[in-house]
Structure 1
Amino acid sequence: MRLVLTGGGTGGHIYPALAIGREAAEHEPDSELLYIGTAKGLESRIVPPTDLPFESIDISGFRRSLSMENVRTIVRFLQGVRRSKELLRRFKPDIVVGTGGYVCGPVVYAASRLGIPTLIHEQNVVPGLTNKFLSRYASAVAVSFADSLPHFSRHRNVKHTGNPVASAVAKADKAKGFASLGLAPGTPFVLAVGGSRGAQAVNEAISAMLPGLADLDGIHFVFVTGERYFEQTQTRLAELPAAVKPRVHTLPYVHNMPEVLAAASLVVSRAGASSLAEITSLGVPAILIPSPNVTNNHQQPNAESLAAAGAAEMILEKDLNGESLLSAVTKIVRDPAKRERMARVSRSLGMPGAAAAIYEQMLQAMKRK
């Protein structure tokens, strides 16, 4: 298979694309892959170390208000389409897969104009502007959440596949997770993480609630602060009661997150699509705090989807403080039956076969050509 992957701007777009590429290579070891992104986007730093060939185009997103910048964006889009056509004619892909972000627009559109089969993958419940636009031209649409299906109701080939990053974590070894934290196997712990860079509002609430661990005997707390918040958090937590300190483990970053997540009894997390795919693939009960600082507030519908099913509790950031977070944590860790119900529902929502399902959908799109 000759496969072009495109997606950029955030890890939530890039890692699903890489997971799809790995799946294709596992099925067809002689596959040739090309990743098209932007030179300034996060993909330009994440993709090259994977040894995937990488090409770039220049593109930016539309502003939601009228401005001259939107005129320049249209010019960049047309130039991006021309550049994409050059790259596609040279590479001659069997299919082009886009996973979101502005860069997908010209690449997938160019492929459709050249008669190349295309598939787009939407990670969030509410589709982004780029995927809404591309759905009119794509051969196939894959979605992470069943709640996304109505947004693509006019498309003849849309499937609920799940998020392909779930496939990579499904077999995570929890024993390695406990060992990496220096905890005995089976130690109950709450994992709290505000994203790869951390989140100030989440960190402040966690710091404020930690003294309350004195009333949760035996429960450990693994607090992933993000590197920029680590030193100030350490200073603040130095004042914790002596009875609590040994049960609080602060880290700036976790490099083996799937293994640590697999070992956790409960996770406190933002509601990014990739994070939720990992959480449900492993069946971990969750307290979700959707970020209000993302485009179109897309994390809140993601969190609401899990909360409505019973796999998670949701706390909006405007309601977040040490007291509200401690209350939510306490209710779950003190109720094993509730925790088991949440885990069971979470696992039922998980789709560890997502990457394989998308690969099959790609094959179907290629056959229809």
Structure 2
Amino acid sequence: MSAAQKTESSHPGTPIPDSNAYQPPVIRRAEVVAFALVSMLIITVVAVLYVAKAFFLPIVTAFIVGTMLSPAATFLEKRGIPRAASAVLIVIGVTGGLAFIVGLISAPLMEWTTRLPELGTLLKDKLHVFDRPLALWHQIQVLFGGSETLATTRFEMPKIDWVQPTLEFLSPTFTEFLLFFAILVLFIASWKDLRRAMIMNFADHEWRLRTLRILNAIETSLGGYLITVTMINFGVGIATGLICALTGMPNPAGLGALAATLNFFPIIGPVAMFVILVAVGIITSATLGAGLLAAALFVGLTFIEGHFITPAIIGRRLQLNALAVFLALAFWTWLWGPMGGFLASPILIVGLILKEHLMPTDKTQLPPD
């Protein structure tokens, strides 16, 4: 009698174990505890970043922007300019460029701000074309049981009580600006020493080499991202200026500079620019159709740029997944506002580089569908 038969005879009704049968993985208590601890750590970090936004946002922005600008400091250093002087020159140059763009935008903005009551009345008068469609819609509501008082409602301009909170949300404080520029200069000036300290912090040669590769990849990728996105947005600004000039919009240079600046903030920036073009076009044009022409052409421009040009260039260079970019944009915009949206893609790039070097995966063939 075989061993299996002896076992079956001694324990009747017990199935013989099959070693080739698939056994589902068992979730151990230690794995559940580890997952819960990691989840609590992530929630705590997000809460701290949200509450201490005024402190962490300038620091993270300075680190990201400083890493992007470090290759320029290295280039100047190789030409005989000290690293500290290179950092100051780069920050002054970037600040000067931003000041020039702000100058192009602020001049017409200040003019339009002084005429805000007049422009509001003019916009309200031109939007009375929507009174009849709104009245028809209210009649339909009344027909299906709505309030009869709604049928006589006319198109009303929204109140401007949201302007001041919006500006406070978009504009960092003076302390945040000061902290950002101070950390940016110090970071660029001491980046070589920081690199060396992070590399030499590991005693193992393999980890030193891995850290060096990670830092080189982050610096190269963020520098390439800054150059590429800047050139794309510069092209969007020029195209928007040409659209505004051809459609008779006032101050096309300022509107083009505004479009280039807002395009650094994915999704949020183009939507804001579309609203601005609609408002300016309706106010300055004789007819509603002529006023919406520039905004319609801008929508076509951003559609081509967002769906063909930018994905082709950025995706080819950095291999970013569109869904990951959108989720990162939504999360960091919710956490830190518009500046979080600006930092979303660079932070995603840094995260993907860290994952690639710290948790490499073997390229295995997937089974066919």
Q: For the superposition of Structure 1 and Structure 2, which TM-score range results when normalised by the shorter chain?
A: under 0.3
Which structure has the bigger radius of gyration?
2
> Taking structure 1 as the reference length, what is the TM-score of the superposition?
0.25
**Hey, which of these two has a bigger chunk of helix by percent?**
2
Under a length normalisation based on structure 2, what TM-score does the superposition of the two structures give?
0.25
